[in-house]
Amino acid sequence: MTDAPLTISDRIQRQLDDLTRAERQLAHSILENYPASGLGPLSALAKDAQVSVPTVARMVQKLGFNGYPEFQTELREELKAKAKDPIAKHDTWAGGAPSGHILNRFTDAVIDNIRHTLGQIDPQDFDTACAMAANTKRHLFIVGGRVTHTLAEYLFLHMQVIRPRITHIQSTSNTWPHYLLDVKPGDVFIIFDMRRYENNTLKLAEMAHAKGAKLILFTDQWRSPVHQLAQISFSSRIVVPSAWDSAATPLLLLETMVAAVQDLTWGDTKDRMEALEDMFDQTKLFRKFT
């Protein structure tokens, strides 16, 4: 471990706390696409970060450089060194860690899962599912199991802002028969069921299905038995180098769905959102005006 090159990126991050608001904003902008943006003219960098020109000049001084040109020179040196490095760390995600480190192995697996999963998704199915989730004429039920109820709740928290007529059911609870009384034909269930598949969830799906509800299922690559009842199923690859499965890919799908539903209903829910935003608004960490 002789290498102590301490890149500028490192230095910026280390000093992040000593920086002022505008400077931090600038710092993030630099790191955003590093190092390219720092190699351009100072004024361009300033405009990009929406701070004034002197702010940039002051920050590079704070970082210990004698001026912007010196800062750039060092950036170029860094770039040169990186290009020459025979074992460029291009194939690792976490810079300083060996490729065998769990951070890199795990991330590799997740990216791979995402690629596989997305490759097998039918976009039309997805669009249909989003339309169903956006339809406020129908009641929307969200169902999760022992572990997956966290995903279900995450979805619920967001959909709650987007649309009314929505219920979160935890399949392990014994209160759910109550909810089912009100289910009408055409209502929509979004169900999460990953291995190991839960009897309760299946049972609930069956009853919902019997009542004429439409089911959308988020499951894993082996597919929960619920998928036979579901109108649309999304199967995620979830295997990672761990004793447990990864929820990252289903979460990605779920968040994408939230974004899509949001787009579909924007007109209706804009006010709804703003009202809620205000309610939660308590911090002013972000600049108000330029």
Note the residues at the interface with DNA (CB under 7 A): 20-23, 41-43, 50-55, 57-58, 60, 67-69, 284, 290
Residue 51 binds which entry of its own copies, DNA, none, with Cβ cut-offs from 5 to 8 Å by kind? DNA
CA distance 88 to 97: 12
Q: What minimum distance in Å lies between the beta carbon of 290 and DNA?
A: 7
DSSP code string of 3-32 = -----HHHHHHHHGGGS-HHHHHHHHHHHH
Q: What minimum distance in Å lies between the beta carbon of 20 and DNA?
A: 3
Q: Of the candidates 259, 262, 250, 253, which has an alpha carbon nearest to the alpha carbon of residue 224?
A: 250
Torsion over CA of 60, 61, 64 and 70, rounded to 10 degrees? 60
Residue 62 binds which entry of DNA, its own copies, none, with Cβ cut-offs from 5 to 8 Å by kind? none
- Residue 51 burial (10 A CB sphere; 0-12, 13-18, 19+): buried
Residue 251 binds which entry of DNA, its own copies, none, with Cβ cut-offs from 5 to 8 Å by kind? its own copies
Q: Of the candidates 156, 143, 130, which has an alpha carbon nearest to the alpha carbon of residue 226?
A: 143
CA distance 281 to 279: 6
Residue 285 binds which entry of DNA, its own copies, none, with Cβ cut-offs from 5 to 8 Å by kind? its own copies
166-170/232-236 β-pairing? unpaired
Residue 20 binds which entry of its own copies, DNA, none, with Cβ cut-offs from 5 to 8 Å by kind? DNA
Cβ proximity to its own copies: between 138 and 158 the closer is 158
Q: Of the candidates 18, 14, 22, 13, which has an alpha carbon nearest to the alpha carbon of residue 286?
A: 22
Cβ proximity to DNA: between 40 and 212 the closer is 40
CA distance 263 to 241: 36
Q: What minimum distance in Å lies between the beta carbon of 8 and its own copies?
A: 13
Q: What minimum distance in Å lies between the beta carbon of 275 and DNA?
A: 25
Residue 2 binds which entry of its own copies, DNA, none, with Cβ cut-offs from 5 to 8 Å by kind? none
Rg (CA), the chain: 25
Cβ proximity to its own copies: between 20 and 242 the closer is 242
Cβ proximity to DNA: between 20 and 33 the closer is 20
Q: What minimum distance in Å lies between the beta carbon of 189 and its own copies?
A: 18
Cβ proximity to DNA: between 71 and 141 the closer is 71
Cβ proximity to its own copies: between 88 and 184 the closer is 88
Q: What minimum distance in Å lies between the beta carbon of 103 and its own copies?
A: 6
Q: What minimum distance in Å lies between the beta carbon of 53 and DNA?
A: 4
Cβ proximity to DNA: between 55 and 135 the closer is 55
Residue 110 binds which entry of DNA, its own copies, none, with Cβ cut-offs from 5 to 8 Å by kind? its own copies
CA distance 189 to 142: 6
Omega cis (within 30) before 105: no
Q: Which residues pair with residue 142 across a beta bridge? A: 168, 190
